[in-house]
Structure 1
Amino acid sequence: MNSHFTQYRPSKASAAGFWQQIGLPARGRRLHELLHEGVEYRVYPKLAKMSGIEQKSLARYVDIPSATLSRRAKSGRFKMAESDRLYRFAELFKAALDLFEGDADGARAWLLAPNIGLGGRRPVEMSATSAEYQTVLNLIGRLEHGVSA
């Protein structure tokens, strides 16, 4: 199998609008700078709303304890590692949204359901590490190209 079939490639047409709505650049130097500086807290509720996942649940999925989340709400900014996990979750949601052709309910349902291609794990639980995140993106890439999961 060619490796290009296993890689997720974001849809360019809808990418900009998604990232604008949550308040992050999609790619490039400014994104890298923001991740190092720490993503502003205001991105978090927008991401939760857009994904349709309750804020407390989202915090669990991205491995941010509730006490830490409260501190970040007060300080107004996440730490670099937390920002990276939030970005990975946003990427996963965006990829699922592309897979379901913009259907947020379908994307959310897919992310929340156990998946045989992930050994029975739920995709939403796999944004805490880069290896897990890449596994989900690869699965989405295979699904988009009709390769069995």
Structure 2
Amino acid sequence: MLHDLVNQGLPFEFLERIASLLQAHRGVISKAICMSPTTVARRAKVGRFSSLESDRIVALVAVVKEALSLFEYDVAAATEWMNSPVRGLGSKRPNDMLGTRVETNAVVDLIGRLKRGSACVRLARWSSGLGSCSYFRYRSFGRKSVQIILLTHESSFACSKAG
């Protein structure tokens, strides 16, 4: 069971697999879970993470799973979103908000609101090299190639048209 694995400490290979899936260097992943490069190097030698570090890794996986679901399993789009400032998170990057459960829950909560359409998004579509902007709820845009800029307002979630 997952809680047993977390209590024992996840094997180091788990971090390597996550980095591979996200096409990111393990340093990026370790920074997201608030681990220094020297701690990561020590864990590589030992081959296992502490239970606290394992819990952070599991939280990262949960956020990544939700982000992938939001972007219909487009790894590049989900990764770009995770690395971009998001207004609904106080202009912080989701990857910078994975150090504590409270921050992780805020990211998961925002993703849930986006999935339900209770947060607004601005979609910029490019066809034949010409950009055209349209405003939609998340559910309405499907698999089209889009650049997503989140425009959520923390308290009211009102849509606003940005330049």
TM interval, shorter chain, is 0.7 to 0.9
- 1:68 alignment partner in structure 2: 39
Deviation at 1:52, TM superposition (A): 1.9
- 2:4 alignment partner in structure 1: 33
Higher-helix-fraction structure:
1
- 1:91 alignment partner in structure 2: 62
Superposition RMSD on alpha carbons, in Å? 0.8
2:31 aligns to what SS in structure 1?
helix
Higher-strand-fraction structure:
2
Q: Compute the TM-score of the two structures, normalised by the length of structure 2.
A: 0.72
Larger Rg: 2
Deviates more, 1:114-123 or 1:47-56: 47-56
Alignment of 1:109 with 2:80, yes or no, is yes
Q: Aligned equivalents of 2:51 and 2:28: distance in 1?
A: 20
- 1:12 alignment partner in structure 2: none
Q: Aligned equivalents of 2:73 and 2:32: distance in 1?
A: 22
Alignment of 1:54 with 2:22, yes or no, is no
Aligned residues: 120
Deviation at 1:137, TM superposition (A): 0.4
- 1:133 alignment partner in structure 2: 104
Deviations 1:21-45 (A, max 9, x none): xxxxxxxxx1000001000001011
- 1:25 alignment partner in structure 2: none
- Structure 1: 5+ residue stretches without partners: 1-29
Deviation at 1:81, TM superposition (A): 0.6
- What percent of counterpart residues are identical? 35
